Structure formats: structure tokens, C-alpha cells
Chains A and B, each alone.
Chain A
């Protein structure tokens, strides 16, 4: 019984659920503040995403007449839950190692696709034409980035697996352990193509400019979320906040997990997340326009794909 209890705590409080939600919202707040400062504005307070969430929780919920009410309400919940589970599967070096019971890298890969699927379904279920456009956009972007990220995950897993005597390491704990002992992949030129590929993947997955095509406000009126209001919209905001924590956390675990043990390790993790969200996301959002969906599709298929294949070939060639 305590096993189950421990798992539930890990999924709901730390590092899943509450912890990753607060981290994601803080990253979002910092990014909005920095973006405002880069444009020489004052900008919203750091805690603005929290205020937004609290406000959404008090608004009225409306359900469109054409939408099946059950599915319409279940979708945001499914998205948020999948991200809470995914967060519990990403180890934090020195502070937390993911339990085996939750599954390995393959399960995490599938869970990472859930928010995109939830958004697609939400868009098409809401009965709005803009939702349908968002559906096709989200689907084509997803088709383009899923293959390269698989190549990246494979090359890291094979690299660690071969070094450990097997041929593939599907546990993120092993990958983190290996880098703690032999140095981070961030400083290993052999892994740089994989790192670059991941860096191109993460704005596409998180819907950051120039890849914020499915949720484009000015063209498709935030697409999938168009018909959602109040707490259900808040649930989507929670999902995307947690997702940014998970994806950045996964990047840290794959390429630069090194940190001292204990609370310091947790601090290092938070600092790395904040650095990525501030430098990466804020600068990207301020400096980039939005690609057309066909441009983004070919860009994502080409460059991360080539880089991912290159890194896989390099890893296989080396062993």
C-alpha cells in the first residue's frame, strides 16, 4: 500500500502535478516579463499566469450546443493528467529518480503526444470551423516533429545502452546516471546533432514562435481553445504550463542533468529550466514571426530529421 501512496504523491505533488505546474507557470510568467522588457514595456507582474488561472477558475463554463458535453469536458482533464504522469517520469538528477512502475522512455514518448491529440480533438469536437482548421494544422506539425524526436531519443538511448554493455537503455534514470559519471552529452561533440535537433523540436512541441501555428491568435482565434471558457480553459492553461516543464525537464535529463545531490540538485534543475525559458523562449518569441504551416512542416521534417539521422548514424558508427 505505501508503494501506491508514494507513487500517487509523486504523480500529484512532486515532481508531477503541483511542483511542475508551479514551475511551468513561473517559467511562463518570467518569459512574459522578459518579453515585455525586450520590447521596452513594463510588462505584467511575474505571477500573472497564476492570476490568470485563479480568474479562469471563477468564470462561467459554457458548452457549445453542437459539442458532446462529456467528451468536451473530459479532454482538458485528460491532457492535464497525462502531463502530471509524464512529469513524474522525468528524473531530476540528485533529487529524484523516476519509479520503474510508471514506465520507460517509450511510454514517456507516447505521453508527450497526448496534449497535441487532446488539442486536436478539442478543436474538432467544439464544432467551430476554426477548431477544424487548428485540427489539420496541429496534425501536420505533429507528423513533422514526431519522427525527429524519436531519432533523438533513440540515439541517446543507444549511446548509453551500448556503453553499459547492452544495446539500448530505455530508462531515463540510466541515461542520467551515465552522464553523471561520464560527463554531460552537452559537452560531447558526437551528441551535438541530437541536441540541435531537440532544440528545434521543443518550440514546435510547445507551440512557441515560429511554430505557434495551430494556436495562432490572429488567424484561427486560438484554434482548439476557441470554444472553451472558465475552468476548462484553465485546465488547458495548466496542461500547457506542465508540458513546458516536462519537455524542458526531458531536455535537461537527456543532455545536461549534472547536478549535486539533494536540495541543491533540485535548485540546479529549477535554474536550468528558468534559463531555458528566459533565454530560449522569450528571445524566440520576441524575435521570430510565425511560419506558414507548409513552411513549418518541411522545415521540421528536414532539419531536425537530418540532424537526428546524423546523430543516430554517428552513435551507431562509433560502436
Chain B
């Protein structure tokens, strides 16, 4: 069992949730951090299309009133053990949207956040560092 859990950290699958983001962080995630140039597949990562396959959840954007419940229900679909990474400054404080009427709460009031990657948007290197940090946490949790 011990040996099995040491393998788990080598295969973290990523899932993205856009919680009302302006798409800046999503572009950084999808086209910069995960394209061949930066290659997180070398860490064993793989984007998965279904939340049921995910290990590490990447959440971007402020939590707007429209998506709050949906974010929570998709987050609850992810089977345990899981790790949450907040990408960008929006999930922390709301960023440029902080005084908006559509903002409800910061991400850590909604779900437990393990790693914060601040930036507007964060650099690809920062995102990869955040994912590497999350992989360590995932390995210790399983």
C-alpha cells in the first residue's frame, strides 16, 4: 500500500474550472502552460475532460453569483483524494473585479484551497511551479 501511494504522485491529472474568469488565466493555462513548449506531461500530468477523472483542480476567476453553486457541484464531483489550486489573483481577492456586484466570495470561503498562484495573469513558469507544489501535496495525501 505504501509503495502504491508513492506512485500516485507521479500521475496527477488536471481539471480546469472557470469560475467567471476573464479568460486571461485560462489562455495562460490552456495555451501557454500546457502546450509542448512548457510540457507538464513530463510530470505525468494529463488534462482530463471529466471531473470524475481529476486529481488536481485548477480554478480560475472570481466566484460570480451565477457560477457559485455550479463550481461547488463540479468540485464535489471530483473523487478524493484531491488538491485545489487557485490560479490568478481573482480567486484570492477578486482582482480587477473586487468591487463588482457580481462577486460573491473568495474561493477559500467556498472550498479548501491548497495552493495559490497569484498574478494577473500568472506567468506559465509560476503556474507550473504551482502545479509541482500541488503534486507534492497530492502525493502526501494518497
Binding site for B on A (CB under 8 A): 32, 36, 39-45, 48, 50-52, 54-55, 57-62, 217-218, 221-222, 225-230, 233
CB contacts under 8 Å to A, within B15-49, are 36, 39, 41-42, 44, 46-49
Chain A residue at smallest Cβ distance from B80 = A60
How distant is B34 from chain A, measured CB to nearest CB, in Å? 11
Q: Which of A54, A60, A218, A222 contacts B11 (CB 8 A)?
A: A54
B41 to chain A, nearest CB (A): 5
Binding site for A on B (CB under 8 A): 4-5, 7-8, 10-12, 36, 39, 41-42, 44, 46-50, 52-53, 55, 77, 79-81, 142
Question: Quick one: closest A residue to B5, CB to CB?
Answer: A58
B17 to chain A, nearest CB (A): 14
Q: Do B8 and A227 have beta carbons less than 8 Å apart?
A: no
What's the Cα separation between A85 and B66 when bound, in Å?
A: 51
Chain A residues contacting B50 (CB-CB under 8 Å) are 221-222, 225-227
Q: Which residues of chain A come closer than 8 Å to B42, judged between CB atoms?
A: 36, 41-44
Which residues of chain B are near A39, meaning CB under 8 Å?
A: 36
CA distance A151 to B47 in the complex (A): 39
Do residues A51 and B79 form an inter-chain contact, with CB atoms below 8 A?
Answer: no
* Contact of B41 with A41 in the complex, beta carbons under 8 Å: yes
Write out the residue numbers on chain B whose beta carbons fall within 8 Å of the beta carbon of A58.
Answer: 4-5, 8, 81, 142
CA gap between A40 and B39 in the complex, in Å: 10
B52 close to A55 (CB less than 8 A): no
Q: Which residues of A contact B8 (CB under 8 A)?
A: 51, 54-55, 58
Q: Which of B36, B49, B79, B81 contacts A229 (CB 8 A)?
A: B79
A-B contact pairs, 20 of them (CB 8 A): A36-B39, A43-B41, A44-B44, A45-B44, A51-B7, A51-B8, A51-B11, A52-B44, A54-B8, A57-B4, A58-B5, A59-B79, A60-B79, A61-B79, A62-B77, A221-B50, A225-B53, A227-B52, A229-B52, A233-B53
A59 to B13, CA, bound (A): 12
In the bound complex, do residue B4 and residue A62 qualify as a contact, i.e. CB atoms below 8 Å apart? Answer: no
Known: A58-B5, A58-B142, A62-B79. A52 touches B48 (CB 8 A): no
B33 to chain A, nearest CB (A): 13
Given A221-B50, A227-B52, A229-B53, do A55 and B142 touch, yes or no (CB 8 Å)? yes
New contact pairs (18) apart from A36-B39, A59-B142, CB-CB < 8 Å: A36-B36, A36-B41, A36-B42, A39-B36, A42-B39, A44-B44, A50-B7, A51-B44, A55-B7, A55-B8, A55-B10, A55-B11, A55-B55, A61-B79, A62-B52, A217-B47, A221-B50, A225-B50
Contact partners of B36 in chain A: CB under 8 A: 36, 39-41
Q: Say whether chain B's binding surface is mostly helix, strand, loop, or mixed.
A: loop
- Least CB distance from B115 to A in Å reads 19
Q: Chain A residues with Cβ under 8 A from B41's Cβ?
A: 32, 36, 41-44
What residues of A have a CB within 8 angstroms of the CB of B53 in the complex? 222, 225, 228-229, 233
Closest chain A residue, CB of each to CB of B4: A54
C-alpha spacing A50/B8, complex, angstroms: 10
Partner of A52, one of B11, B39, B80, B81: B11
In the bound complex, CA of A43 to CA of B42 (Å): 5
Across the interface, A230 reaches (CB within 8 A) one of B5, B11, B79, namely B79
Cα–Cα, bound, A60→B142 (Å): 11
Please name all residues of chain B whose beta carbon is closer than 8 Å to the beta carbon of A44 when the two chains form the complex: 41-42, 44
Q: Bound complex: CA of A40 vs CA of B35, how far in Å?
A: 11
Q: Name which residue of chain B comes closest to A128, CB basis.
A: B50
Of B5, B44, B46, B52, which is within 8 A of A228 by CB?
B52
Closest 4 CB pairs of A and B: A60-B79, A221-B49, A229-B52, A54-B7
Q: Report the minimum CB–CB distance from B104 to chain A (whole Å).
A: 27
Nearest CB to that of A48 among chain B residues? B44
CA distance A60 to B77 in the complex (A): 11
The smallest C-beta distance from A92 to any residue of chain B, in angstroms, reads 30
The docked-state distance in angstroms from the alpha carbon of A198 to that of B108 is 54
